[in-house]
């Protein structure tokens, strides 16, 4: 009688099991979010963009998130390079919000409410 030794799980097998557990939990708990992440991950270049954002410093990510949150219309965001290699993001909505915040900060009066418009 030939005895076959049970296969010892390899790192890949353990990784596969862990991946299945994560995916099962995610699909069961938040199916809409899972499918949205899958959809976006299929866009050309999107995984590279997501990886780059995750690699940014916390303060840089926070600034980018704040900018994107303030801009309700992504189609109005403009991105431009300068000769030094700096990337500038502009949005009329963000510009308007920043102007309002600056106005309120500069005209703060504890006894009278400032009206930014």
Under the banding of pLDDT at 50, 70 and 90, the label for residue 32 is confident
Please report which confidence band the pLDDT of residue 2 belongs to, taking 50, 70 and 90 as the band edges. low
Range of weakest confidence among 27-41, 48-62, 79-93? 27-41
Establish if 113 belongs to a structural domain.
Answer: yes
Q: Which ranges of the chain would DSSP assign to H, the alpha helix?
A: 11-29, 31-41, 46-55, 58-70, 92-106
Would you call 87 exposed, middle or buried from its count of C-beta atoms within 10 A (0-12, 13-18, 19+)?
exposed
What is the model's pLDDT at position 84?
93
In a domain, 85, yes or no: yes
Q: In the structure encoding, which two tokens stand for residue 17, read together?
A: 């099991």
Contact 38/47 with Cβ under 8 angstroms?
no
My answer on whether 84 and 116 are in the same domain is yes
Section 68-77 average pLDDT: 90
Q: Is residue 94 part of a domain?
A: yes
Q: Which of 18, 40, 19, 38 is nearest to 30 (CA)?
A: 38
Task: Tally the domains of the chain.
Answer: 2
Domain range for 30 is 12-55
State how far the Cα of 68 lies from the Cα of 81, in Å rounded to an integer.
18
Residues 86 and 113 in one domain: yes
19-23, 69-73, 87-91, 103-107 — which is least confidently predicted? Answer: 19-23
Q: How confident is the model at residue 18 (pLDDT cuts 50, 70, 90)?
A: confident
Residue 68 lies in a domain: no
Residue 5: inside a domain? no
Phi first, then psi: what are they for 85, rounded to 5°? 95, 10
| 60 falls within a domain | no
Domain assignment of residue 109, yes or no: yes
């Amino acid at each position: 009688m030939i005895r076959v030794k049970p296969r010892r799980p390899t790192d890949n097998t353990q990784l596969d099991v862990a991946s299945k557990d994560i995916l099962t939990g995610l699909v069961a708990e938040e199916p809409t979010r899972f499918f949205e992440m899958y959809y976006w991950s299929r866009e050309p270049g999107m995984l590279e963009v997501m990886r780059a954002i995750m690699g940014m410093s916390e303060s840089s990510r926070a600034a980018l998130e704040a900018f994107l949150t303030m801009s309700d219309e992504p189609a109005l965001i403009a991105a431009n390079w300068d000769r030094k290699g700096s990337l500038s993001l502009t949005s009329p909505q963000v510009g308007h919000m920043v102007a309002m915040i600056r106005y309120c900060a500069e005209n703060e009066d504890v006894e009278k409410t400032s009206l930014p418009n």
